[in-house]
Structure 1
Amino acid sequence: MSSTLAESWERYAATSKPRRATNGCGESTWLNWTQYADHGPDETVLGPVAGRKVLELGSGSGDNLAHLVTLGASGVGIDVAPSREAVARKRWGGLPGVEFRTAEAVEFLEGATEEFDVVLSIFGAVWFTAPDTLMPLVRGRISLGGVLVFSHLPPGSQELQPGKTGMRHDHTPDEWRSLLVGHGFSDVRVSLIDPPEAKAVGTMLVHARAA
């Protein structure tokens, strides 16, 4: 793992605020695909998760992955910043079926032997890793018919992701469809989630299935 990469994300992690104890509906765990609180679709984007093995690329404080585990999934979350693993373990380490590791996405996938039914990335590694490098590795570790779902800002957005390290891999919906099909995925669906208020930036959500 590049020490520079880890250090950059450590600096970003130091500025991150912890998630609220409950969301607008009073729930203590939930999944949030967008950069806005209480906004956008929920975990149903992934289909049924009970009994499925989940990998999150860029798991941060572990809140999204922990929510899926409370619904019956088992999960592994990786993040390049060591402090994120510590925070996630402190908050969710007692939850059966969840594991957090410090790892860069490409290095983790290259060394992994386990297979996953669901891979997700929320403003995470998919946005910051060359797809021609990352996607073959994801496809190699995802079960046939398994799902890959990720979100990030729409291409051309003027809003910058705080703490971004290096170039973002922004692609149009058509470009993502072509890239994913070319790397062994099918049923590629790309949607743009409108922001909760005018003049704010929306969110791109991409769903694909391992062919």
Structure 2
Amino acid sequence: MPAQHDIAAERELWDTYAESVFKPEAESSFCWTQYADHGPGPELLGEPASVLEIGCGTGRALAHLAERGIKATGVDLSPVMVGRIRERWEETGPRFECAEGLAFLADHHDSYDAIYSIFGAAWFTDPAKLFPLVAQRLNPGGVFAFSHPPAIPGAYGPQGMYKGGFAGPALFTYRYSYTPRRWQNLLHRSGFHEAEARILDAPKAGHIGTLIVRAKR
């Protein structure tokens, strides 16, 4: 049975998340992994003149790119988060839109040199629906890159996730987990002619690594 996404309920979940993680004093930064100062930086995107971040969260990565003169757009499902990051990064220059990622890609016809997701929409959206839309919105030669934790061995496909434990309102969403090879195959099927997926080890042995995926149209 396919995952049954309830966008209104998921928006409530991400609004709650925004309340817990947004820190107005945080500075701009760009990191693909869950460990500070570990792993590659924005060079994975190439040298884009324009970028779109899907599931932009706190906006710190997008602000980092905007500070370097890149035309930067971010989309996030949470109106709470978008309201706060618009205010926080107003002088930096990114454009933030509040929308569900699939709907935004389908309804807006702008194209970008790079589209990316850091522990964002590429982790929480059905790739069979997301990847073809991303390919349509990339300029020729454009880069699509994303990162999130690797799959737990044997646990593949959509994985249900409750918000903040197992008590309280039943707010939940789905994460999508596959092997690196499976991610590459999904990208090739969606029109990407180059795709590489790898797991970057954590800075400390035995800790959770990071799946990093990069593809070109």
TM-score by length of 2: 0.85
Q: Unaligned regions of 5+ residues in structure 1, if any?
A: 22-27
Aligned residues: 200
Give the counterpart of 2:79 among 77, 82, 89: 82
Bigger drift between 82-91 and 143-152 goes to 82-91
- Structure 1 residue aligned with 2:13: 8
Q: 2:111 matched to 1:120? A: no
Task: State the TM-score, normalized to the length of structure 1.
Answer: 0.88
The match for 2:47 is 48
The DSSP-based 3-state class of the residue aligned with 1:168 is strand
Distance in 2 between residues matched to 1:16 and 1:82, nearest whole Å: 14
2:201 match: 194
1:71 aligns to what SS in structure 2? coil
Q: Is the 8 A contact 1:145 1:209 kept in 2?
A: yes
Structure 1 distance, partners of 2:163, 2:140, is 35
Q: Do residues 134 (structure 1) and 139 (structure 2) align? A: no
What runs of 5+ residues in structure 2 fail to find an aligned partner?
Answer: 1-5, 165-171
Secondary structure in 1 matching 2:123: helix
Contact 1:75 1:99 (8 Å CA) reproduced:
yes
Q: 1:186 to 1:19 in 2, by over 3 A?
A: farther
Which amino acid is the alignment partner of residue 39 of structure 2?
G
1:36 maps to 35
One-letter code of the match for 2:8?
Answer: S
CA RMSD of aligned residues (A): 2.1
Secondary structure of 2:104's match?
helix
1:155 to 138, 151, 156: 151
Cross-structure match for 1:67: 64
For 1:18 and 1:195, locate their aligned partners in 2 and report how far apart those are by CA, in whole Å.
Answer: 25
How far, CA to CA, are the matches of 2:32 and 2:84 in structure 1? 20
